[in-house]
Amino acid sequence: MSYAAYIFDAYGTLFDVHAAVRRHAQAIGPDGQLLSEIWRAKQLEYSWTRSLMGQWRDFWALTEEALDHAFERVPSADKSLRPQLLDAYFKLDCYPEVPTVLKTLKATGARVAILSNGSSEMLASAVKNAALDSVIDDVFSVDALQIFKTDPSVYDLVTTAYRLYPGAVSFQSSNRWDVAGATKFGFRTIWINRTQMPDEYLDLSPSMILPDLNAVV
C-alpha cells in the first residue's frame, strides 16, 4: 500500500546518534560506549521532563546538558573532548541505507519529510552533512511548538501542513515510545528496531517492525 507522505524521525532512525562518540572512540577510551548511551538516555529524559513541566529548552541545549552529565558519570572520559563531540553530533552520519530508501520513496511521488525533536539548526546541519537536501521535502521541528514528542500537536504538524488525514501518513521511527505516540495519533507506523529490543507499549502496536529502513520501500 502506498501513502501520500512518508515521515521519518531523525535521530536513531535516519542519523546514527552514536556516530559522534565512535568518531572519537580512540581518544575517549574503553568507556566510550557507556558515555554515548548515557548521553542519549539523558537527552531524551530531559526532553520528556521539560515537556511535562512546561519549561522549554531546545534540543541542542538539552544535548549539551546531557553530554555534561554523561562526562560526570564517566570520569575516565576526557572532558576536553566536549567541543569535538558536540561538533560531531551536529554533523551526524546517516545510516547506509538511508539515501537509497529516501530517493526510492520520493520517486513514487510521495512526500518525504522529517519530524523530529531536534532543533531546526541541528536538523539542517544533519541533512546537509548527509547530502539528503535533494530528497527531503520538509523538515518539521518541534521548535515551532516548543514542546516535544509524544505530544499529539507534534504529529499534527504534518497533517496540518500537508492537509492529510493521519491514515494517509506512514511514520517511521527507531524509538518505540515515538512509534506509540504516532500510532495513538493515527499514523500508520513502522518501528525500525535496529538494536533488536523487546516490544513495549503493547496496546499501541506498530503496523510493522523492521530491522532497518530497507523494507520500507
* Secondary structure class of 170 (helix, strand, coil): strand
Which of 9, 16, 58, 143 is labelled catalytic?
9
List CB contacts of 120: < 8 A, sequence separation 6 or more.
Answer: 139, 141, 143
Cβ atoms of residues 105 and 217 within 8 Å: yes
What residue has cell string 515515538? 178
Query: Which residues sit opposite 1 in a β-bridge?
Result: none
Respond yes or no: is residue 156 known to be catalytic.
no
* Secondary structure class of 13 (helix, strand, coil): coil
The alpha helices in 1-151, defined as continuous H runs, are 19-23, 25-28, 32-53, 59-73, 82-90, 98-107, 120-129
Reported residue count of the chain is: 217
What residue has cell string 520538509? 138
Q: Which residues are catalytic, by number?
A: 9
